[in-house]
A and B are shown apart, each in its own frame.
Chain A
Amino acid sequence: MSLLQVKEVTHSYGSRSIFNWKDRSKKVLSDISLSIEEGTCLGLLGKSGAGKSTLGKVILGLERPQNGQILFQGHDIYTADNHIRKKIRRNLQVVFQDSYSSVNPRMTAERIIAEPLENYEKLTVAEQKRTIVELLERVGLSEVDLKKYPHQFSGGQLQRINIARAISLKPKLIVLDESVSSLDMVNQTLILELLRELKEDFGLSYFFITHDIKSAYTISDTLGVLEKGELVELYGSKNQFFTSEHPVVKEMRGSILAEHPRYRSVRTREKHTKSI
């Protein structure tokens, strides 16, 4: 049995809102089916507005789809009884793109990481502290960071704290929505490395949502492409992305920017003149 199964999910926004009454027919997701096996990472690529985050929210139980089912370890997350839902919530964590707005600015790193532990584990004060220090070390931080506030961390460090919190309950699946997109390459590489380690050590699975082809390729095992709410490609092996003849995929590949000014394609109209 797959860890997560998305079955024929269709969704459009606005059914409960008077503002978009007329848009009700416009589908944000149409007939999406996919699955994630334990210990693997499914990458989801797609243009801005394609519906990636919406699918993420549907999987997290935050946006009930109009049609279709989300099965987590075989249980429908929207109809399961409270006991099972509580278990699912514990095993299903999320890390968003913006590390700063995901945390309470008035809480220390220790409090931020402690929150899920306090909700689910009844640890003694000493045990909890030890657990938090271990988590910090796991993500490359240390005990000295316990009492720091969010503004005292860089974006990359804070994203590690978000990851520490997400893994604190040893979940089965983490939904990562553009979690490394705003980080520089040095920090991106460190975090992707960390995610890979956690996957190997704890058998974690990821649903890795991104618009960034390189990071998706680095971390994923399987890969899907969402375009205007439709899952146009689903690859059992990520390498297929590079040989696919699908026009959307070809366009994506063709738009990757070369990382050297010699291969510029945007500023070509004027000759580059050397300035002092």
Chain B
Amino acid sequence: MLGTEHPNVLQVSDLHVHVKSNNGINTLVQDINITLKRGKILGLVGESGCGKTVTSMSILQLLDRKTKTIEGSIVVKGRELNGLDDKEMRKIRGKDIAFIMQNPMNAFTPVFTIGHQFIETIRSHTQWNKKQATEIAIEAMHHVNLPNPVKLLKYYPFQLSGGMLQRVMIAIAACLHPAVIIADEPTTALDVNNQKIVLRHLDKIRSEYGSAILLISHDLGVISEMADEVAVMQNGKIVEKADVFQLFDEPQHEYTKKLLNARSILHLDEPIIHFA
């Protein structure tokens, strides 16, 4: 495919998102510049409401264009996405850029089984038949530690726990080995054991298939495990971007320092946990 060898699989330049409302025009994010290289992970951190999800939704062109304007350029594998119509974007989503949504419940339609939705997604992007797609789905669910995938495929979304749904979504996103994975808070519903299993799996997809990952998380444990580079967002702007070691060891921006300090507040009176 065109541009596959280009080292920058995702290039976001001067991204601005505005929203129109009764009180005029508001800026949700501004001056966003992001480069994702093949096989690399960029962490995006920031307080809730700072614009992380808006950024990922605009990359995927999922924002409602009636009320929102997206300015700037979003290039994936050499192709400009900003302004593409929905039909074109549907071909790209899932295959070239996969999205792990923040809220697993919203990612599924309540009236179809998990299996139906999983298998349809695979088939809409590949030539595989139903049987092959089912096998791939089952294997992908094993990778994220879901027990009894054959049974789960017959379930409706409401019959799965929050963490199980989140893992199904990750399985769907990873199984087509996309060039870019945008993971918006991918492990918020997972316990530590499953979190680790899922992170290992994402890392495997990255190292084996070269997928680049934009990893959005408020969890500094997840970021420090996974990221090569980290961007810190505050009030819709990226205020600091650095190598992960540098960021944790020598944060420059006051806001970054605040976030890093909040890390220890929770376990200040917790002398028994030893991190190592």
What is A's interface to B at a CB cutoff of 8 Å? 13, 19-20, 23, 45-49, 52-53, 97-98, 100-101, 153-157, 178, 181-189, 192, 211, 213-215, 217-218, 239, 242-243, 251-253, 255-267, 269-270, 272, 274-275
Residues 100-119 of B contacting A (Cβ, < 8 Å) = 102-103, 105-106
Q: Which of B46, B200, B266 has the most CB atoms of chain A within a 10 A radius of its CB?
A: B266
- In addition to A155-B48, A255-B193, A259-B224, 7 A-B residue pairs with Cβ atoms within 8 Å of each other are A154-B48, A182-B189, A211-B191, A255-B196, A256-B221, A256-B275, A264-B224
Contacting pair B262 A239 (CB below 8 A): no
Q: What separation, in Å, do the CA atoms of A10 and B214 have in the docked complex? A: 42
> Residues of B contacting A270 with CB < 8 Å?
207
Tell whether, in the assembled complex, residue B224 and residue A261 are in contact, meaning their CB atoms are under 8 Å apart: yes
Q: Counting CB contacts under 8 A, is B263 at the interface? A: yes
| 5 interchain pairs, CB-CB under 8 A | A23-B151, A46-B191, A211-B189, A213-B192, A257-B195
Using a Cβ–Cβ cut-off of 8 Å, how many residues does chain B contribute to the interface with A?
65
Which residues of chain A come closer than 8 Å to B147, judged between CB atoms? 49
Q: Would you call B252 an interface residue if the criterion is a C-beta within 8 Å of the partner chain's C-beta atoms?
A: no
Cβ of B84 within 8 Å of any chain A Cβ, yes or no, is no
Q: Do A242 and B272 touch across chains, with their CB atoms under 8 A apart?
A: yes
In the assembled complex, which residues on chain B have CB atoms less than 8 Å from the CB atom of A217? Answer: 267, 270
Least Cβ distance of A103 to chain B in Å?
13
Q: Which residue of B lies closest to A153 (CB)?
A: B49
A contacts with B: majority SS: loop
- Chain A nearest CB from B125 CB (Å) reads 27
Interface residue ranges, B against A (CB under 8 Å) = 37, 40, 45-50, 102-103, 105-106, 147, 151, 154-156, 159, 161-164, 166-167, 185, 188-196, 199-200, 203, 207, 218-222, 224-229, 243-245, 248, 258-259, 262-263, 265-267, 270, 272-273, 275-276
Which residues does chain B contribute within 8 Å of A23, judged by CB atoms? 151
Tally the A-B contacts, defined by beta carbons under 8 Å.
176
**Smallest distance from the beta carbon of A235 to chain B beta carbons, Å?**
13
Cβ–Cβ contact B221 & A257, under 8 A: yes
Minimum CB–CB distance for B48 against chain A, Å: 4
Indicate if the CB atoms of A49 and B49 lie closer than 8 Å: no
Q: Among the listed A188, A253, A275, which residue makes an inter-chain contact with B243, where contact means beta carbons less than 8 Å apart?
A: A275
The list of the 3 closest CB pairs from A to B, nearest first, reads A154-B49, A48-B163, A257-B221
Contact of A252 among B190, B193, B243 (CB under 8 A): B193
**B200:A266 contact, CB within 8 angstroms:** yes
A211 touches B273 (CB 8 A): no
Collect the chain A residues with CB atoms within 8 Å of residue B37's CB: 275
A54, B207: Cα distance in complex, Å: 38
Please determine whether A186 and B192 come into contact, CB atoms closer than 8 angstroms.
no
Tell me, in angstroms, the Cα distance from A39 to B96 when the chains sit together.
52
- Which residues of chain A are within 8 angstroms of B195 by Cβ–Cβ distance? 255, 257
Contact B266 A188 (CB under 8 A): yes
Per a CB cutoff under 8 Å, which of B47, B155, B188 touches A154?
Answer: B47
